Structure 1
């Protein structure tokens, strides 16, 4: 087996990759682990992140190799056999892209882990359910979730300033100083409006004119290619799922009525719950559960948001302003907690009083500049996240600042 062509292709790719800027996840990954998985939606930068790691750690050495298993070559050869041959040639680290496109990928990764000394970094769709795999990769692989660009990362990528990320606690307690420092260097409100329309994906660096066309193409690839691969959803259902996404884009924060959704999309009630879960795993929507705190209090029904504001702008050119505000907030909070390794995800739920309860502690009401404290009056640890405000005051915080959490 001759690997020359793979190394030649790798050198071409590495020439196109710069080491800066790096996505936030790069510094969170423990690159010393033997089996690392990076999952995320198409277009968020998984391939670039892996190539940056390869370039920084190995340069042009032949001890590391990047492969994409959607290459037709891997229809004719076992991934496990390929890995063994690479190790025999002196290989140390194998970077495997698009792993979800390879049949029985989990069994092959387990065999590589158990049968070789190779380090393996693999990437795949955010739909991959590692803990559900028969090969039981959950005991072997360290999995990281790569979210879309934060507002902070967008500013860096677009050449509008490099700023440090902040924790939620720091943001809530020191937001005036943090926002003032940023506002001294840029006009955050101007850039924030651009970000909401077309700033959540790294390919914004290729220009805004074709951004939504590329984003719609990614949505189609997820629905028409990735979804059937990973979940075995019949191709005949894909158009119905597209209609479902469009209906969600038209709505204010959507409180799901399964019967109504089924009737509007011609998707059966039995499968609707599964399809909503698949779309969430695919990072096309986010479901926020109702809070169950408080004895004897009525639990709010969950709400459904599109995954980010760019999707809403690409699918529906005139998204609801209030929905966009909440979608941004939900996306940035949920994304900042993706790799927190908690047994139960309580990063954000619907609040019993304000809009959201974050980390089980902070009540947040999201609104416009004139939003008042009436709905959260008398509540401990309650804050307003306010749009169209450059610098806040006391418990009134600029909405855009929540884009600096990762």
Structure 2
């Protein structure tokens, strides 16, 4: 019988041989190299500083939903080391920990120790050359963070990247928190979509749009919007229907090569199923009954108008306790399938009022709605719900950016309430109203006056370009999705 260590060693040797040979296949399509997410430049920066003997950032953690491009990202980093930094292939190890554990049960520390022993005849303490280890699906090892801490403390010569679909497991890493750099890999905004799919760089519009939202000056946005439209017009591959496709089916580069809307919807539904059946049970024990309840909650959310979710009503619908509903909602949030907004106001109001829930992307909501046969499909109301989700998810992802610090609330005012209120630190509130078609000023003006705001934002098709009318800024939905 083959010993456990020998099985691990053989698997590692196979990966060291095979991965360099499959890079071209994995990182290109029809001999065209994939474009890269902007996070690759950040990772390259960490790799470069490590190679210059700066070991302060030698563990990188990349949590994110399935399908957002984490595996491609670390394989591109792998290729960078081999082809641009001339690192020997034996010194760069890519491991899908899911595949390794299908063969033999082990933890990440054991795998690393076998790798060092068999390839370098060394251990963590006496390794004397630079080694790079990229662990995909690292949440399979429930003690991955402990392994990372030991490796970090015992060796100055190992650079590691951990990725995983389960955001909770990657974020509850107290052992590693002070030692790691975490970068959540989110679904694509439209700027990222254009860069990956067409190689079009409109990042200047994203930056100017952020400045507009938090500063109120539209001049820079108008200039960058004009430049972006010129780039799109002059791109032969760009389709006039691309944004509508992105709106309902986008966010996941893994789906770029899918031909039919039905196929994309099926794959998006499958992503949600795998998060529930594979990722959530690895985070916390989840009975088959609660896995079914999680699926039903997602269907329930997909069919409802965005609004306050009463846990008691949902518990009654599922025939379970409110405590169990809250537990499932919490897990769904920590896998980043959904997120919530709390009501604006004091702590008493936030405790008393229910939360609003949104999907990670409007495309997930649309796929689930299509699967269950939402009777509103195709209506203006339905399109409005998807647009509200788009605005919410773009704001949510931006709020989690390490360089941006603001909070998203919903407006609990029952009369003429707007959809969102955002606040950066202790600065003035910025109200945001969202709608399909043309929106009137009544709601946004009411919010501006009530909350003593300098200006308010309407995301709707009132104008074909960004426009400021007195203290109201109008942003077309397509432009807002560049955020």
For the residue of structure 1 that corresponds to 2:167, the secondary structure is coil
Partners of 1:78 and 1:231 lie apart in 2 by: 18
For residues 7-406 of structure 1, the aligned pairs below 5 Å read 7-15=16-24, 16-18=26-28, 20-29=34-43, 31=46, 32=50, 33-59=57-83, 61-73=89-101, 75-88=104-117, 89=120, 92-117=131-156, 118-130=158-170, 132-133=172-173, 136-159=175-198, 161-165=200-204, 166-167=206-207, 168-170=210-212, 173-174=217-218, 175-186=221-232, 190-209=241-260, 210-292=263-345, 301-317=354-370, 318=377, 320-340=382-402, 346-351=406-411, 353-360=417-424, 361-377=429-445, 378=449, 379-387=453-461, 389-394=463-468, 395-405=473-483
Say which one has the larger Rg. Answer: 2
Paired residues of 2:243 and 2:478 also in contact (CA < 8 A): yes
Any conservation in 2 of the 1:368–1:388 contact (CA below 8 Å)?
no
CA distance, structure 2, for counterparts of residue 298 and residue 229 of structure 1 = 30
Q: Name the CA shift for 1:249/1:146 in 2 (closer, same or farther; >3 Å).
A: same
Aligned pair in 2 of structure 1 residues 387, 61: CA closer, same or farther (>3 Å)?
Answer: farther
Distance in 2 (CA, whole Å) between partners of 1:157 and 1:231 is 34
The 1:339/1:393 distance shift into structure 2, 3 A limit, reads closer
Q: Deviations over 1:80-114 (max 9, x none)?
A: 13213434525611000101112322222222222
Q: CA RMSD in A?
A: 2.8
Indicate the SS of the match to 1:145: coil
Bigger fraction of residues in helix: 2
* Partners of 1:292 and 1:299 within 8 A in 2: no
Structure 1 contact 94–119 (Cα < 8 Å) conserved: yes
Offset at residue 78 of structure 1 (A)? 4.2
Q: CA deviation at 1:143?
A: 1.1
State the 1:155 CA deviation. Answer: 2.2
Q: Is the Cα contact below 8 Å between 1:39 and 1:126 reproduced in 2?
A: yes
**What whole-Å deviation, never above 9, does each CA across 1:117-169 have from its counterpart, x for those lacking one?**
31111101243345644x61112211111100111122233327332252311
Cα contact 1:66–1:96 (8 A) shared by 2: yes
The separation in 2 between residues aligned to 1:308 and 1:404, in whole angstroms, is: 14
Contact 2:466/2:476 (CA < 8 Å) preserved in 1?
Answer: yes
Deviates more, 1:27-36 or 1:270-279: 27-36
Unaligned runs of 5+ residues in structure 1 are none
Q: Could you list the runs of 5+ residues in structure 2 that have no partner in the other structure?
A: 1-8, 51-56, 121-128, 234-238, 371-376
Shift of the 185–127 alpha-carbon distance from structure 1 to 2, 3 Å rule, reads: closer
Normalised TM-score (structure 2): 0.76
Deviates more, 1:346-355 or 1:276-285: 346-355
- Cα pair distance change 1:387/1:227, threshold 3 Å: farther
Classify the secondary structure of the residue corresponding to 1:173. Answer: coil
Count of paired positions: 402
Aligned to 1:128, the other structure's residue is in SS state helix
For 2:266 and 2:349, locate their aligned partners in 1 and report how far apart those are by CA, in whole Å.
48
The structure-2 alpha-carbon separation of the partners of 1:382 and 1:71, relative to structure 1 and needing over 3 Å to count, comes to: same
Which structure exhibits the higher relative contact order, with contacts defined as CA atoms closer than 8 Å and separated by 6 or more residues? 1
The Cα shift of 1:170 comes to 4.0
Shift in alpha-carbon separation, 1:114–1:298, aligned structure 2, 3 A: closer
CA distance in 2, matches of 1:298, 1:76: 44
Q: CA 1:92–1:332 in 2, change beyond 3 Å: closer, same or farther? A: same
